Chain A
Amino acid sequence: MMTNPTGRLTQGQFSFLPDLSDEEIRQQIEYGLGKGYAWSVEYTDDPHPRNTYWEMFGMPMFDLRDAAGVMQELDGCRKTFPSHYIRLLAFDSTRGVESIAMSFIVNRPQVEPGFGLIRQEWHNRTIRYTVYPYAAVEPEGERY
């Protein structure tokens, strides 16, 4: 499978590693909180690499001091969307940075079928390529 060598979606940090345990996730959150980042939880069932903006699960969490609050929100999201992709984002609000500093997947579907390759014949025997997630063939909410 050329487009899906590991059988897993690889986006963001740690995605080539085995899934992080809850304790490891907690430690990452603590690290981010120590840096003053604001954590937020996002989910999607469309793993296309160009699908940049996932759905927000609740508000971004500013002014937190302990990872327990983020973990609670993550647990809530896992309960609601057990077989969606869920990721944690850390927003760095430092003036001049103001963007995402960390992002990693914390929940994935049981089976990840990967991506299909589409070859499009163009003029002068040119071929144009694009990928699509097999899962995205199904309508939203019924993909995994």
Chain B
Amino acid sequence: MYNLSGTAAGATHPSPQADPPDLSKARTVAEILAPSQVEQVLAELDRDLVGLLPVKARIRDIAALLVIDKLRTNCGLQAQVPSLHMCFTGNPGTGKTTLAMRMAEILHRLGYVRKGHLVAVTRDDLVGQYIGHTAPKTKEVLKKAMGGVLFIDEAYYLYRPENERDYGQEAIEILLQVMENQRDDLVVILAGYKDRMDTFFQSNPGMSSRIAHHLDFPDYGVDELLLIADRMLADQHYRFGEGAREVFNAYLQRRLEQPRFANARSIRNALERARLRQASRLFAQRERVLTAGDLSTLEAADFSASRVFQQPGAV
């Protein structure tokens, strides 16, 4: 089980542990939004995440539905707990995990999960290695996730059709049971690549029908990727030197045509490599006095040295 930044107690966001505000008296949308600060989270979402317009629209819809549901409950109209389990599909690096963390917070602010933490797991954390190992392992993870969101990354690995004795099926069954019976205790978010998740759902129709929200994350365009690069650099106190942004743009155009492009993650790696080249470039100039500007500028040369440019026409 790996800890994501921001899921540790008291990190990033002010008080993910604080009890959700009491909304049982509210009669208007504003009365729900004001104390729960959902608006702020949605605004942050818009500001911090580049692109992903369909996903953001869907999140707004879900948030609106939850607010209206709260009002309905307050009027005594309906007391059924909505099914909030979700499935995030998309290519690598399109922001699935990041969004899951935001989702946990939105649900917490609206009082649909009690604690609002995110437990991110993969197959290894759920499926055991021998008979009788899987059930306790899965249950332990589920217990840890109660009151928050369970994020299962690459969920399709849970089901291995080629091995009928695979213990993954057992984990799926326990998961299904909890997803159905303890909807107010935890929200499950499955994530994975689109095509493989589709196969997964085809072989586990029970899983598909218990998930109300299927969100598909589109790939980023070049413009969006450049914006992401700008933000990543700003976060690390770097900036593009003269002409460097154009070279990076050209780099992206070429890189996009190559296989195994992982969107934002590839951007981060590309910038990481540019930092390496910048470091060795400055390292070579032994006598030069380096200013803060020198140390934080990535020059065009740092990008144009990339392997992508050295193989003209490489696909």
A residues within 8 Å of B by Cβ? Answer: 58-59, 61, 63-70, 72-73
Contacts and interface: CB of A to CB of B under 8 A. Distances in A.
Contacts of B144: 63-65, 69
Interface of B: 114-115, 117, 136, 140, 142-144, 146-148, 182, 185-186
List 6 A-B pairs, minimum CB-CB distance, nearest first. Answer: A66-B147, A69-B143, A68-B146, A68-B185, A69-B146, A66-B146
Contacts of B182: 68, 72
A65 B142 contact: no
A88 to B, nearest CB: 14
B216 to A, nearest CB: 30
Contacts of B136: 58-59
A66 B140 contact: no
A59 B148 contact: no
- The winner among A59, A63, A65 for most chain B CB atoms within 10 A is A65
A50 B148 CA distance: 40
A125 B74 CA distance: 75
Contacts of A68: 114, 143, 146-147, 182, 185-186
B302 to A, nearest CB: 43
Nearest to B184: A68
Nearest to B142: A69
Contacts of A66: 114-115, 146-148, 185
A59 B140 contact: yes
Contacts of A70: 143
A107 to B, nearest CB: 19
Given A66-B148, A68-B114, A68-B185, 14 more contacts: A59-B140, A61-B140, A64-B143, A64-B146, A65-B115, A65-B117, A65-B148, A66-B146, A67-B147, A68-B147, A68-B182, A69-B144, A72-B146, A73-B143
A97 B131 CA distance: 37
Contacts of A65: 115, 117, 144, 146-148
Contacts of A67: 147
A66 B114 CA distance: 8
- The winner among A59, A69, A72 for most chain B CB atoms within 10 A is A69
